Structure 1
Amino acid sequence: MRQEMFGTLPDGTLYTKRRNLAYGRLYTAENPRIHSSAAKDGYETIPGVVCEFPCLGAYVVSFRTDKTMSGTHWGSLGEVKENCTIWIYFCKTLEKAQDRHYDMAYLVNNIQQASDGRWYAIVNVEENYPYCCFRFNTYSDGTYVQTAKIWDISMTYSANLHPYTPAPEDDETVVLTEGAG
């Protein structure tokens, strides 16, 4: 991680200056990730997006979608559900996150919608999983194709929702330099 993206609070706590820690592939409203599936448990690990956690603590995951979100996983129940779910796949290595594998899966069950339309939840990173990737779920009866879009994926080191910005690595207007210290 780049030093200039971090600061230290008076109590010594590290913070990330509202920086989006989810990087690798920028999905936007004009170019969202489109997921279509007729599977009963129609999930996909979102390609290209990974996150690095600088430390343990509270993080906020947020994103936009054209569907209503839920914190309930219907698995292979076999019913058409209009609600989708998001999962965080915690990983011990960057390679696992990039390959879309995981060491621990977490269903984001405290999801809520902000006044600006984004969906978000506070996620407590309590174990030593320094990386993650994201899974997006639709639910069907096995024949009906569910299609959902997701974009503006963000993870910030905070217990508060902040305005969306792309990760500096994915924003062509940001010039990253190695920090000195």
Structure 2
Amino acid sequence: MPAFLIAYVRIVEKFNEKVGRIAMYLLFALMGVMLWGAFARSAWHPQVWTDEMGQFLLAGYFMLGGAYALQLGSAVRMDVFYSQWSDRTRAMVDAVTIFALLCYLAVLLWGGVESTQYALQYGERRSGLWRPYMAPVKIVMCIGILMMLLQCSCFLIRDIARLRGREI
């Protein structure tokens, strides 16, 4: 494999690892917001922002940690036949499925960018009592989708290298 592809894979995987490890701490922020909301609900009147802020933090945690979870192999895989296949057959099947996933993520990113542009242009707000702006969470979702897209491209490069008899 060309050196620039090997460098690309290493840079993307290192970046996704760092962002994913930072995103893990959003779980503590989510727990703090939910704890505050539960305490406020029982001690005095409910806080209108805690439920929606919890949803936004969970979306950030899920989307920013998605590429790292893929990298760790945490995704669900049907292992009925997969474990019995040779490395070459696995790489071939993985390359086809990763290509399909890349197409899906590209369409998802396209829709996410259009939705983010709309939110920024018109100041879109969520309906409800708190009415937060939607642009920040949509931007985070687009970044997470882009990170997954890059991680899947790394998987495809690795699978092609494996099919050619080389490991990255």
Question: Which one scores higher on RCO, CA 8 angstroms, separation ≥ 6?
Answer: 1
TM-score (normalizing by structure 2) = 0.22
The structure whose residues are more often strand, as a share, is: 1
**TM-score (normalised: structure 1):** 0.21
Structure with the greater alpha carbon radius of gyration? 2
